[in-house]
A and B are shown apart, each in its own frame.
Chain A
């Protein structure tokens, strides 16, 4: 009996049971249940009936949902571009040797480590229409003449949230790129220098191509979670003003939790999955390539 239990296949399956129970019961099953819910007219307190695709058809007609699709994509696109550019630049800076480079590398991760809701509260206070310290500073520098209405008007609110998302996510890109940069053999850059390549040329022809695989992983991963972001937007604007910063998740929350329309909420929450599958496919592919190279 003990021998049988000790054989790799039996023991392997036994050891996997806890993970299967947790992930099966609280992840895979809810995922399927979510698909089913989105095909019913379930509300809080009353079991629904199968209604086919009518939730999806209803949200497709809804201007608020269309607005949320627009802003989710706008938010994700510009936040990713910003995180990539600023994260890569930061990685290139801290990849050099200077006094205190270790401290700089440790400190730069703080926005990523700190709980998002709590730092978002600090941003909310920094965005105050009357008492904003950012406006105060810009006024003193003579750059602006009246205080900025950061989150009170649609476009400033949309842009402010993207800035905060970049703030939180750029350290993740910086650390990923730093690991990528350190994996590039020194000889390549030395050879380029001997051949008389300028710094920019060396970056464009050697560094950047070698960083492409890690870029795919970073951008795809980050896009999945930026597209379904909630905490930051909910804390700072709650989707406002007048639904200008509504995204998939905030709208699903309002429909399902505040409004009790579970079926429609589930449809809204599930609708970005098509895009996420595309990102996930990119992740899987690049991770596999990376493995086969090793």
Chain B
């Protein structure tokens, strides 16, 4: 390919995609560090002429943002731990133990995966009220497990299938129980699959909005997304500097986790589509 042909086939389209896909992130970054006056009047809004930390400081000292951040982190970690453990033993049971009904059970789990929260949030709220879980922060952990367990089990089923059966048969011959084989032989080899499941669980929990919005009512029990949209946006005056600072800081954990494990993430996405 000539240089011009390469430019039109790769360089140019990639630049256009880059502008479109990264624009909101760039906009968060620029707004966060720009002086208040400059947000409204500026010779070029894409540049920063006067840097400031006032929005970040204001966000962290005048609002409950740090508290919401802690809530989100706690819920995301808790939901990840619960979901990955439950999914691992479920996937193991379905693929390796093959009890009566394990096939329809696997299909049922897959069907749970495609039930969107949008059709569940009203009746699930009723259930939470009856259980006394309404407006309890920790309740989000088992609630998030309802969409994480189907996804992770599905992912881990695909992963466990690729582990040769001979490995556990060898263990069985040596007299190890099924439980011991699951813990000592299969678990260590499953680590890459478990990492993939954990990253997805963490980012999906960090992203969740509808359940947290409906079920958490006191300001101290909110997550970052809910707190920002319900407490920081009030009336017609938007504090764009603080809002974008909050968005930027809130986006970071998901992005950091993603970049650390990008290979696992991509493999997981491709895998969840295929099997």
Contacts and interface: CB of A to CB of B under 8 A. Distances in A.
B266 A252 contact: no
Nearest to A7: B178
A122 to B, nearest CB: 4
B179 A224 contact: no
How big is the B interface, by class? 35 or more
Secondary structure of the A contact surface, majority rule: helix
B274 A115 contact: no
A16 interface: yes
A133 interface: yes
B31 interface: yes
A28 B88 CA distance: 21
B66 interface: no
Interface in A81-125: 86, 89-90, 93-94, 96, 98, 104-111, 113-119, 121-123, 125
A34 B119 contact: yes
A235 interface: yes
Given A93-B13, A119-B247, A125 B90 contact: no
A155 to B, nearest CB: 21
A269 B247 contact: no
Given A33-B123, A119-B24, A19 B251 contact: no
Nearest to A117: B225
Contact of A117 (B209, B238, B270): B209
A91 to B, nearest CB: 11
Nearest to A257: B214
A115 B206 contact: yes
A11 interface: yes
A30 B117 CA distance: 11
Interface string A123-135: 1011000010100
A6 B270 contact: no
A78 interface: no
Interface in A208-243: 214, 217-218, 221, 224-225, 228-231, 234-235
Given A119-B24, A179-B274, A230-B209, A27 B115 contact: yes
A22 B142 contact: yes
A23 B109 contact: yes
Interface stretch (A57-65, A167-175, A185-193): A167-175
B251 A115 contact: yes
A6 B251 CA distance: 45
B99 A9 contact: yes
Contacts of B92: 15
Contacts of A90: 17
A246 interface: no
Contacts of B197: none
A214 B275 CA distance: 11
A216 B245 CA distance: 39
A245 B62 CA distance: 34
Interface in B99-122: 99-100, 102, 105, 109-112, 114-122
B114 A37 contact: no
Nearest to A116: B207
A2 interface: yes
Nearest to A112: B269
B275 A290 contact: yes
A270 interface: yes
Contacts of B122: 34, 37, 252, 256-257, 262, 265-266, 269
B49 interface: no
Contacts of A111: 21, 24
A22 B145 contact: yes
Contact of B178 (A6, A25, A28, A167): A6
Nearest to A266: B122
B67 to A, nearest CB: 17
* Nearest 5 Cβ contacts at the A-B interface: A12-B99, A12-B97, A228-B118, A179-B270, A122-B24
27 contacts: A2-B177, A6-B179, A8-B98, A11-B97, A15-B93, A19-B109, A25-B127, A30-B124, A31-B120, A33-B126, A34-B120, A37-B123, A93-B10, A110-B258, A113-B258, A114-B255, A115-B250, A118-B247, A118-B250, A136-B45, A228-B116, A252-B118, A252-B122, A257-B214, A266-B122, A270-B119, A280-B111
Given A117-B229, A121-B247, 19 more contacts: A6-B178, A9-B100, A19-B109, A22-B149, A26-B127, A26-B142, A27-B146, A104-B14, A106-B262, A110-B22, A117-B228, A118-B224, A123-B24, A125-B27, A126-B24, A179-B273, A230-B118, A257-B214, A269-B122
Interface of A: 2, 6, 8-13, 15-16, 18-19, 22-23, 25-31, 33-34, 37, 86, 89-90, 93-94, 96, 98, 104-111, 113-119, 121-123, 125-126, 131, 133, 136-137, 167, 170-172, 175-176, 178-179, 214, 217-218, 221, 224-225, 228-231, 234-235, 248-249, 252-253, 256-257, 262, 265-266, 269-270, 272-273, 276, 280, 283-284, 287, 290-291
